[in-house]
């Protein structure tokens, strides 16, 4: 995972709440077995509409998405994060994120920046009034800036640290392999295993 | 201070408490795999030269992509076939037990785990699928994870996690005849909203929950994610133990006795405090259906399509306007007047044997209405075999419904079972998102009883309407 400190890019106002992961990437695009190339599935249904925001001039080059509350609800598909990142997004700003989406973002280096809904509304107006306006996101300082707009955003400290350092979760956990061994030695004997049964 | 059920299960699985900002490291007792969210995780292992730490706590099945007819033929969709073939190759390479298409134990991952007795009280269960919350019906802490986390569990059998908050969802009273677990959970979601459960584990409790069968409890816990919650749980009791006893992977003899003794401690203490509490009166509930494009947009079947103008909250009003446009519905239309093209009975929400029995009881002696197609898709091959041994398939076929093989089917548009643009369904599945059942498809979420009655009348209906 690449480290993330700051990012500046075109902001995209997505005036929708409850943007579920079936909208971010419909299931039909989940069939690939690779980890790249999901950009064509991003908002696939909405992109058929020429009025959709990502079909409008300067927004096509967007890399900071600004969306309404409950972004990323629905399925656990990490493909939603891959699709956003493959398209070029590095940051999603929303007033509330679904838990699994937020977790998946942190694993991949996509910053899920939580701000007040009033800040989302201000950003929407600003980005709509002046399409192509750049938004700067500073993970160190936890701030979002655009023109004369500044707001603090929330992100949990551990995710922020991992993103800043670009650290891989599995390697971090494997430092505690001895503790996992100890735990396994204490597990109850009646807990099931998936070993095939003699009769089956 | 006492602890909640969720807190007890959490504490019992902490490998290492995080210090400061660092999360806890939690041990995972059971990891379920399917073809959609695993290929990139296996790939990650290969790239890093890692294996699975515990193949004996891991099991895979094919469900999302599989067709539900002609399963002896190769999968026609090449990309779907590649995904299934990739799972088979990966399971072989890494030594994971797999139940492939056609196998007697194949089915939807959340139907397969419980029926094998692999899901037990007090366990931690994960899967790269948000409906993993289903397994919480046993008093397990079960939740969906993303592909990076799938890889993490494969490599370490643990997950770094921060404790969830706890919410009590108390359903008092007694459900009326014809009101089901599906109606309960749809009403819960409509009450707390699709974001209301975010950050929480929901614990369903109260007389109405205790009176539910194991399968009905799974229906309730299954849709916890639709309220935004990571997991749902129900304290294990005699109903749970009875269901588990004698299952293929349940323990026996002294080990079973020891397990039951422990399971009986898995209850929220009387003096425990939840972070939030919600109460619902079961006796006031009636059959519930959704009218919009998120599972919180639901109403009693006796109601009418709401008028967005009457909604105060800006975001909710806009969401309702967009939903009605997509659904092709006019405000004020009685929900009972909405006609459907398709009825789907199945999915990890309502694809178990009791669901099939309930729908068959309504359909017996009736015909599916002209112009309506009804798909009956058992959640697993074992459910299918059980239904056939009871003759349920004959009732479905006599009514003019299609009797299919096991899989996720029309719950999501990844396999051949899909709605066409503009088609409308009454569906026992869990999500009414735009395009969920096929591009342009319109979904009304319903219980198996409402699904069956709707199939007969061709408009959203309850069994009472058939009298």
Q: What is the DSSP string of B163-230?
A: PPEEEEEEEES-PPTT--HHHHHHHHHHHH-TTTTTTEEEEEESHHHHTS-HHHHHHHHHGGGGGT-S
| Mean pLDDT per 10-residue section of chain B, whose length is 467 residues | 96 93 94 96 92 98 96 92 97 98 97 98 97 98 95 98 96 97 97 94 98 98 96 98 97 98 98 97 97 97 97 91 98 98 98 98 98 98 98 98 97 94 98 96 98 98 95
Helix H or strand E segment including A82:
helix A79-87
Considering chain B, what percentage of its residues have pLDDT values greater than 90?
96
Neighboring chain B residues of A184 at a CB cutoff of 8 Å: 27, 157
Q: Cβ contacts of residue A141 below 8 Å, gap of 6+?
A: none
| Domain ranges within chain A, ordered by starting residue | 6-186
Name the pairing type of β-strands B158-161 and B24-27: antiparallel
Domain with CATH 3.40.1060.10 in chain B: 165-284
Dihedral angle, C-alpha A52, A55, A57, A59, nearest 10 ° = 70
In angstroms, the CA B314 to CA B300 distance is 23
**What is the mean pLDDT of the segment spanning A116-130?**
97
Neighboring chain A residues of B97 at a CB cutoff of 8 Å: 194-196
pLDDT of amino acid B307: 97
ipTM of the complex: 0.94
Shortest CA distance from B16: residue in chain A: A179
pLDDT of amino acid A196: 87
In angstroms, the CA B184 to CA B284 distance is 10
Q: CB–CB of B23 and A158 under 8 A?
A: yes
Helix H or strand E segment including A149:
strand A149-152
Any chain B CB within 8 A of the CB of A94? Answer: no
Q: pLDDT (tens digit, 9 = 90+) per residue, B264-320?
A: 999 999 999 999 999 999 999 999 999 999 999 999 999 999 999 999 988 899 999
Among the listed residues A36, A108, A24, A163, the one whose alpha carbon sits nearest the alpha carbon of residue B148: A108
- Residue B198: which of A99, A161, A199 has the nearest Cβ? A99
CATH homologous superfamily for B165-284? Aconitase, Domain 2 (3.40.1060.10)
pLDDT of amino acid B289: 98
Fold (topology level) of A6-186: Aconitase; domain 4 (3.20.19)
Q: pLDDT (tens digit, 9 = 90+) per residue, A14-72?
A: 999 999 999 999 988 988 888 888 999 999 999 999 999 999 999 999 999 999 999 99
Q: CB–CB of A107 and B319 under 8 A?
A: no
Shortest CA distance from A95: residue in chain B: B195
The answer to whether B406 touches B412, Cβ cutoff 8 Å, is no
Fold (topology level) of B5-161: Aconitase; domain 3 (3.30.499)
Window 102-161 of A: residues touching B by CB (8 A cutoff) are 103-104, 107-108, 117, 156-158, 161
Binding-site residue positions of B = 348, 408, 411
The answer to whether B443 touches B423, Cβ cutoff 8 Å, is no
Name the CA radius of gyration of chain B, rounded.
21
In angstroms, the CA A98 to CA A69 distance is 9
pLDDT of amino acid A200: 47
Q: What would the CATH number be for the domain defined by B288-466? A: 3.30.499.10
Considering chain A, what percentage of its residues have pLDDT values greater than 70?
99
Q: Which residue has the tokens 């026992």?
A: B428
- Residue A23: which of B22, B57, B433 has the nearest Cβ? B433
Q: CB–CB of B146 and A78 under 8 A?
A: yes
Dihedral angle, C-alpha B414, B417, B423, B429, nearest 10 ° = -80
pLDDT of amino acid B177: 95
Question: From the candidates B147, B151, B408, B416, which should be mutated to test the interface with A, based on the most A CB atoms within 10 A?
Answer: B147
Q: CB–CB of A191 and B120 under 8 A?
A: yes
Window 5-44 of A: residues touching B by CB (8 A cutoff) are 15-18, 20, 22-23, 26-28, 30-35
In angstroms, the CA A59 to CA A124 distance is 13
Domain with CATH 3.30.499.10 in chain B: 5-161, 288-466
In angstroms, the CA A198 to CA B219 distance is 31
pLDDT of amino acid A199: 58
Among the listed residues B181, B135, B354, the one whose alpha carbon sits nearest the alpha carbon of residue B280: B181
Q: pLDDT (tens digit, 9 = 90+) per residue, B373-385?
A: 999 999 999 999 9
pLDDT of amino acid B403: 98
Question: If you average pLDDT over every residue of chain A, what do you get?
Answer: 94
- Strand intervals (E) in B252-301: 276-281, 288-290, 298-300
In angstroms, the CA A172 to CA A1 distance is 13
Half-sphere exposure of B61 (CA within 13 A, CB side): 26
């Amino acid at each position: 995972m690449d480290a993330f400190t700051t990012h500046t890019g075109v902001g995209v106002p997505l005036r929708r709440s409850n943007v579920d992961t079936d909208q971010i990437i419909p299931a039909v695009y989940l069939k690939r077995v690779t980890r790249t190339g999901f950009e064509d599935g991003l908002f696939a249904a909405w992109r058929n509409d020429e009025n959709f925001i990502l079909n409008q001039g300067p927004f096509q080059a967007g890399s900071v998405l600004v969306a309404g509350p409950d972004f990323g609800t629905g399925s656990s598909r990490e493909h939603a994060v891959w699709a956003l990142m493959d398209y070029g997004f590095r940051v999603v700003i929303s007033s509330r994120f679904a838990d699994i989406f937020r977790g998946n973002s942190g694993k991949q280096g996509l910053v899920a920046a939580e701000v007040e809904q009033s800040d989302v509304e201000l950003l929407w107006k600003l980005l709509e009034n002046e399409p192509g306006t750049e938004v700067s996101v500073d993970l160190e300082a936890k701030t979002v800036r655009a023109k004369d707009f500044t707001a603090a955003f929330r992100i949990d400290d551990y995710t922020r640290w991992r993103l800043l350092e670009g650290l891989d979760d599995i390697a971090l956990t494997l430092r505690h392999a001895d503790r996992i061994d100890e735990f396994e030695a204490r597990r109850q004997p009646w807990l099931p295993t998936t070993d095939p049964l003699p009769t089956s | 201070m006492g602890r909640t059920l969720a807190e007890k299960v959490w504490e019992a699985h902490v490998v290492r408490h995080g210090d400061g900002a660092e999360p806890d490291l939690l041990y995972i007792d059971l990891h379920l795999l399917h073809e959609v969210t695993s290929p990139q995780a296996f790939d990650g292992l290969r790239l890093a030269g890692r294996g699975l730490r515990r193949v004996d706590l891991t099991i895979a099945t094919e469900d999302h992509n599989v067709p539900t007819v002609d399963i002896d033929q190769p999968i026609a969709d090449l990309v779907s076939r590649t995904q299934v073939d990739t799972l088979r190759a990966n399971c072989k390479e890494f030594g994971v037990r797999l139940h492939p298409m056609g196998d007697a134990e194949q089915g939807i991952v959340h139907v397969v785990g419980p029926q094998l007795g692999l899901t037990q009280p007090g366990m931690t269960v994960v899967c790269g699928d948000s409906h993993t919350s289903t397994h919480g019906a046993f008093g397990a802490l079960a939740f969906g994870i993303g592909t990076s986390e799938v890889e993490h569990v494969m490599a370490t059998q643990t997950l770094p996690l921060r404790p969830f908050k706890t919410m009590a969802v108390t359903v008092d009273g007694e459900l009326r005849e014809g009101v089901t677990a599906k109606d309960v959970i749809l009403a819960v979601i409509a009450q707390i909203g699709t974001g209301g459960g975010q950050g929480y584990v929901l614990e369903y409790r109260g007389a109405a929950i205790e009176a539910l069968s194991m399968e009905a409890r799974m229906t309730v816990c299954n849709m916890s994610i639709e309220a935004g919650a990571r997991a749902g749980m129900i304290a294990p009791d005699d109903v749970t133990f009875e269901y588990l006893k004698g299952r293929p992977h349940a323990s026996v003899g002294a080990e079973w006795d020891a397990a039951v003794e422990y399971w009986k401690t898995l209850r929220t203490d009387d003096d425990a405090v939840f972070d939030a509490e919600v109460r619902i009166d079961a006796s006031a509930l009636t059959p519930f259906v959704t009218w919009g494009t998120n599972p919180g947009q639901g109403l009693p079947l006796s109601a009418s399509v709401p008028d967005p103008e009457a909604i105060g909250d800006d975001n909710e009003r806009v969401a309702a306007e967009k939903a009605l446009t997509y659904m092709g519905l006019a405000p004020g239309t009685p929900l009972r007047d909405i006609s459907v093209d398709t009825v789907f009975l199945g999915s990890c929400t309502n694809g178990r044997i009791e669901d099939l029995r309930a729908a068959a009881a309504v359909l017996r002696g009736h015909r599916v209405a002209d112009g309506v197609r009804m798909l009956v898709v058992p959640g697993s091959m074992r459910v299918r075999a059980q239904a056939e041994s009871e003759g349920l398939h004959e009732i479905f076929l006599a009514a003019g419904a299609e009797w299919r093989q096991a899989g996720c089917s029309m719950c999501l548009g990844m396999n051949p079972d899909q709605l066409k643009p503009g088609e409308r369904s009454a569906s026992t599945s869990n999500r009414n998102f735009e395009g969920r059942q096929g591009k342009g498809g319109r979904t009304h979420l319903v219980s198996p009883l409402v699904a069956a009655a709707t199939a007969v009348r061709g408009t959203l209906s309850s069994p009472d309407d058939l009298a």
